[in-house]
Structure formats: structure tokens, C-alpha cells
Structure 1
């Protein structure tokens, strides 16, 4: 991926630690989760119940769907068990000078375990 594939999302300081943040980035619903100095990005919809993962809770390196309790690995999008059986897409993220940049090209299976660490949108979807 090139730098042109990444969009500025927000400043790292705008993301609370271990709290999901919903973002609409060019029409794609994303949930961002900051864990210390790493940021993870997943498609903001449970693959089992089609509800927003951003309304769930973060525990260690997973996010839980509030409706039926499915949990998804922040790094890979894979569910830890039923009722969800299908992974949710994860997205590459880069940290650049205190800003969070995200690519809307979902990660492949081979790169999905990397932490998500990017045109200019805020978590609320506003252009900057």
C-alpha cells in the first residue's frame, strides 16, 4: 500500500484508551479501538447480528457485540466462538506524527494479525 491509500482519521489523543469509537469514513462504518499506542480498526458491524460493534465493550484485545455476546479479535476480526462464526473485516492503520491514518482496503488474512497503528475524516465522519 502507498501513502495515498491512507486517510487521516483523527489525532491519536482523540481516541480514548480501550473504548470503541464509531467512525464513518467515506461511507464505510468503522470501529476504532486504541490500546495504549496501538490502534485497531474493524468494520463496525457484528457478522452474526448486524449491529454496531462500537456499542459493545473492549476487553484485552477483543471487542464484544452487545446483543448476543460474540467477541471478535481486534487484530484479526475473527470471532472467538458462537454465535458469530464469520470474521469481520479489519483495516490497516498507521500512526504518523500523532495522527491516525487508515486504509479502506481491508487486510488480507496474512496481514490481519498486525496492529492497526488513515482523505481526512474525524471519528464523527467530518472532513478535515
Structure 2
């Protein structure tokens, strides 16, 4: 499968130790800045209709603002009930101060 790298944001627009949302390539993404790295997931919780960008980021875990389910932003794995289904993650690369996300 071919890579589909999309320019999603300026690296400077991804906050340290926090989350923001962007629309890139027709997909709503949550971008997370953690320890100098950027991670990307789908922005919608798999348990309820809530945007993960409105949640609470602690380390590599995002807590859904609606029912407090948690996901590991590196793997997408649900790590706390009521969330049981993983959230989709996307590969990220940084080039020339821009965040690229592979939507492929």
C-alpha cells in the first residue's frame, strides 16, 4: 500500500504535553505533543461520540472527555473502560518544521 503523506500542521502548532485537532486530507485528526515527539490518532472516541482533542492528555494516554475511557496514543490501544475498541493511529514524520501524517 502506498504512503499517503499529508501536510497536517506546523510543528510549532502542536502544543507540548497537550492535544490539538486538525483536518487533513478529509480526516479529522488529534495531534499530540509528548516529550518532543508528535503522535496522531483519529479524533473521535471509539466508545462515544466525543472528540479526543477535548480530552485530558497525561503522558502517552488521552482520556476521553465524555466517559473517561483512555487510549494509548502510540498504539491506539484502549487502556481504560468503558473504551474497549482501539482508536486508529497514523504514522507521523516531521520535515522542515511541518507535521506530515500518513493517512494510507
1:45 maps to which residue?
Answer: 44
CA offsets 1:77-102 (integer angstroms, 9 cap, x no match): 11112101000100011011221111
Aligned length: 104
Give the root-mean-square deviation of aligned CA atoms: 1.4
- Looking at secondary structure, tell me which structure has more strand per residue: 2
1:115 maps to which residue?
Answer: none
More displaced 10-residue stretch of structure 1: 83-92 or 9-18? 9-18
* Aligned: 1:76 with 2:75: yes
Per the TM alignment, residue 16 of structure 1 is displaced from its structure 2 partner at its CA by: 1.0
Partner of 2:68, secondary structure, is coil
TM-score scaled by length of structure 1: 0.76
Per the TM alignment, residue 36 of structure 1 is displaced from its structure 2 partner at its CA by: 3.0
TM-score scaled by length of structure 2: 0.92
Per the TM alignment, residue 76 of structure 1 is displaced from its structure 2 partner at its CA by: 0.6
Runs (5+) with no aligned partner, structure 2: none
Moved over 3 A (4+): none
Runs (5+) with no aligned partner, structure 1: 106-128
